[in-house]
Amino acid sequence: MRVFILAVALLLPALPAWARDVWFTTSDGARLHYTETGPANAPLTLIFVPGWTMPGWIFAPQQRFFQRRYRVVLFDPRGQGSSQIPPTGYSQTRRGKDIAELIDRLPGRVVVIGWSLGVLDTLAFIHQGGNPRIVGLVLVDNSVGEPPAPLYHPPPPGPPRPYPVFVREFVAGMFHTRQTPAYLAHLTQACLRLPRPYAAALLAYPVPRGYWRAALLSTGVPVLYAVRPLWAAQAHNLVAERPHTDIAIFPRAGHALFIDQASRFDTLMQQFLERDIHS
- Measured from the Cβ of residue 47, the count of other Cβ atoms closer than 10 Å reads 24
Does the pLDDT value for residue 167 go beyond 80?
A: yes
In CATH, what number is assigned to the domain containing residue 61? 3.40.50.1820
pLDDT in tens, 89-134: 999 999 999 999 999 999 999 999 999 999 999 999 999 999 999 9
Q: What is the reported pLDDT for 253?
A: 98
Report residue 10's pLDDT band, with 50, 70 and 90 as the boundaries: very low
Does the pLDDT value for residue 13 go beyond 80?
A: no
Do residues 225 and 158 make contact, with C-beta atoms less than 8 angstroms apart?
Answer: no
Report residue 222's pLDDT band, with 50, 70 and 90 as the boundaries: very high
Mean pLDDT of the chain: 93
pTM for the whole structure: 0.93
Q: What is the reported pLDDT for 16?
A: 54
Q: What is the reported pLDDT for 151?
A: 82
pLDDT (average), residues 141-162: 87
User: Quick one: which of 116, 144, 125, 122 has its CA closest to 213?
Assistant: 144
Report residue 279's pLDDT band, with 50, 70 and 90 as the boundaries: low
Do residues 53 and 202 make contact, with C-beta atoms less than 8 angstroms apart?
Answer: yes
Q: What is the reported pLDDT for 137?
A: 98
Q: What is the reported pLDDT for 14?
A: 53
pLDDT in tens, 21-44: 999 999 999 999 999 999 989 999
Q: What is the reported pLDDT for 111?
A: 98
Structurally, the chain folds into a number of domains equal to 1
Percent of the chain with pLDDT over 70: 93
pLDDT (average), residues 77-92: 98
Q: What is the reported pLDDT for 197?
A: 97
Q: What is the reported pLDDT for 171?
A: 98
Print the domain residue range for 195. 2-277
pLDDT (average), residues 162-190: 97
